Amino acid sequence: MNPNKNTIQNPTGIKIIGIIVLFSMVVACQSLLEQDITGDTVTLNSPPNGLHSEDYTQTFWWDDVKGASSYNLQVVSPSFDFMQKMVLDTNITDNQFTYSFYPDTFTCRIKAYNAAYETAFTYATFYIDSTEGPQIVVLKEPYNNSITNDSNLVFSWYKAENATNYRVLIKEGEDVISTIIAYETSIKYPDNLLETPLLVDGEYTWTVRSENEVGYSEYAAARSIMIDRIAPGTPTVIRPVNQDTIGNFEMAWKHGANSGSAISDSIIVYKDSTSNIEYLSLLITDTVFTHSGASSNKWYSFKIKAVDAATNQSGWSPIRYFYYQATTEGNK
């Protein structure tokens, strides 16, 4: 009898076990090398809890924690229990950090950590309430989610109290968290509009903040816009075939090329074979049009053009003629 007959050889399993053991040893060694700081507390010296300040720029300063390699500082508005906005989340190796705020209520928290341990958070609430600071801007036009083909695009906003100038920020893409800046400029007060920045067709967000010697406001809620100056392609009629006789009053077509905004179609149907007497004229979003109530045993003609959401228009399709002969009495 072979003494190894019932022995299962699994080199892969042995390797996995070895890796797990090695990882556990590394973690254990790391814990032994790092100082346990879980019972320590970060002492925050500035800003003190409950601070009311007219200074927009605040310096966070705390005592070093022995054994800590870094600190995690977070600031929200107005509090972590009722958070409306995450203002700051950063990791720092030093024991101070400077940041510029705007008038509002803020709560900060900070903890120390190393490769194996971390302390609990230390909290403080502070208020930036300068009456001399610039106020948040209220945007005017373009409206949110607007689509335009205007080459003379104008961005405007209402004047903000205490402002000496405005910062206009336009970013690429429809996402408000986009980081791709397409255009940024400063406008001197009392001017409150920006005319025709050189923007190519596409989707953007835009916003404005007010500034003065004290500091600057929060940016206004960003608005989305789409610039589309390219006309869609002319529709191609699928049916009816020219000069055809049809039993159902139905027309179908397909759109031409379009790289811009959504398309609707303008269709005109004439009640004769000379295209002189207009029978129907309507704008539809489908590419099939069915009609009941038309007189049977008569010639009709029609044409179609595409119109996008920015009001760009294609050319008209060639006029198509057809003879309508209803298939049922109800369609006559």
**Distance in angstroms (rounded) separating the CA atoms of residues 282 and 265:** 8
Could you give the percent of the chain with pLDDT greater than 70?
88
Question: Helix (H, G, I), strand (E, B), or coil: what is residue 191?
Answer: coil
- Three-state secondary structure along 82-120? CCCEEEEEEEECCCEEEEECCCEEEEEEEEEECCCCECC
Per the model's pLDDT, the better-predicted residue between 270 and 2 turns out to be 270
Domains, the chain:
44-128 (2.60.40.10), 139-227 (2.60.40.10), 236-331 (2.60.40.10)
Per the model's pLDDT, the better-predicted residue between 16 and 321 turns out to be 321
What mean pLDDT is reported for the chain? 87
- Predicted confidence (pLDDT) per residue in 219-247, tens digit: 999 999 999 999 999 999 999 999 999 99
Q: What is the DSSP string of 215-269?
A: -BPPPPPPEEEEE--PPPPPPEEEESPTTEEESS-EEEEE-----SS-EEEEEEE
pLDDT-derived band at 323 (thresholds 50, 70, 90) equals very high
Instruction: Find residue 58's DSSP bridge partners.
Output: 99
Region 105-134 average pLDDT: 92
pLDDT at 62: 97
Q: Residue 6 pLDDT more than 80?
A: no
pLDDT at 174: 79
Helices (H) and strands (E) in the chain, counts: 1, 24
Count Cβ atoms below 10 Å from residue 245 Cβ, excluding itself.
12
- Predicted confidence (pLDDT) per residue in 78-100, tens digit: 999 999 999 999 999 999 999 98
The DSSP 8-state label assigned to residue 47 in this structure reads S
- Predicted confidence (pLDDT) per residue in 187-208, tens digit: 999 899 998 777 889 999 999 9
Side-chain half-sphere exposure of 49, counting CA atoms within 13 A: 8
Q: Residue 139 pLDDT more than 90?
A: yes
Q: Residue 306 pLDDT more than 90?
A: yes
**Distance in angstroms (rounded) separating the CA atoms of residues 167 and 211:** 7
Q: Give yes or no for a contact between 108 and 97, defined as CB atoms under 8 angstroms apart.
A: no
Q: Give yes or no for a contact between 106 and 77, defined as CB atoms under 8 angstroms apart.
A: yes
pLDDT-derived band at 31 (thresholds 50, 70, 90) equals low
pLDDT at 331: 45
**Distance in angstroms (rounded) separating the CA atoms of residues 150 and 147:** 9
Could you give the percent of the chain with pLDDT greater than 90?
66
